Chain A
Amino acid sequence: MIEIGRLCLKIAGKESGKKCVIVDVIDDSYVMVDGDVKRKRCNIKHLEPLEGTIKIEKNASHDMVVKEFKKLAIEIKESKPKEKKEKPKKIRGKKEKVEVKEEKPKRKALLTVGAKKEKKETKAKTTENKKEKPDKPKEEKKVKKKIVKENKS
């Protein structure tokens, strides 16, 4: 059953459930595998041989295998290599000038300019009232404390 060109199903690992073909027989327990999976060495125990074979040479290239798979209507997902992104280079010792944006006054602030003034006025009034009030009870407390101290002594 295990021979070059045999279609197989992977039943272990992250590529399990996908079809592949034996490209090379390494020894009595390992084979080289290619197809819908990554080209790599694979244990025979992790393969389930299927019916059907592909006519390929020993150590056939990945492109050849893909061609044969297309004839059998087996889709192969090709992973594209990532495009390299250019990273902004930092130069040591030189500090780049950061452009300072002129901040526009926010719309909310513009709307509440009038309201803020009113608030300030009201706050001032309240503070004045507060200042006046706490004078009396503080004195009373002090007097009380003094009385307590005198009693203790």
Chain B
Amino acid sequence: MPKRSYRSRSIRKIYIKTPGGKTVIHYERKKPKKAHCGSCGAILKGVPRERPYKLRKLAKTQRRPERPYGGVLCSKCARLLFIREARK
């Protein structure tokens, strides 16, 4: 029996093969849902699907696209927004 707190369904198991040939179970929290566009709701590309503590280990350029509104709006919506702002 694992530790009592690991018996929760909100925790996922990861089977890892050790160098010695054993398979051990690591317990981790589940991943959050994918990042979505703020205006149309499409799935954002280039945004990793990880918990914040793992995102913190990444470089800033690996966390979101390097464009204004990157990681917030999808590329289509951002394009429209730039054109609209220029037309004003």
**What is A's interface to B at a CB cutoff of 8 Å?**
9-14, 16-17, 48, 50
Q: Does B66 have its Cβ within 8 Å of any Cβ on chain A?
A: yes
Q: Find out whether the CB atom of B66 lies under 8 angstroms from the CB atom of A16.
A: no
Query: A48 contacts which of B67, B68, B78, B83 (Cβ < 8 Å)?
Result: B83
Q: Find out whether the CB atom of B86 lies under 8 angstroms from the CB atom of A9.
A: yes
Q: Find out whether the CB atom of A9 lies under 8 angstroms from the CB atom of B68.
A: no
Interchain Cβ contacts under 8 Å between A and B, 5 examples = A9-B82, A11-B78, A12-B75, A12-B79, A48-B83
- Give the secondary structure class of B's interface: helix
Residue of B nearest to A48 (CB): B83
**Bound: A17/B84 CA distance, A:** 10
**Bound: A48/B82 CA distance, A:** 9
**Bound: A16/B86 CA distance, A:** 11
Q: Find out whether the CB atom of B68 lies under 8 angstroms from the CB atom of A50.
A: no
Tell me the chain B residues, 42-88 only, with Cβ under 8 Å from chain A: 66-68, 75, 78-79, 82-83, 85-86
Residues of A within 8 A of B82 (CB): 9-11, 16-17, 48
A11 to chain B, nearest CB (A): 5
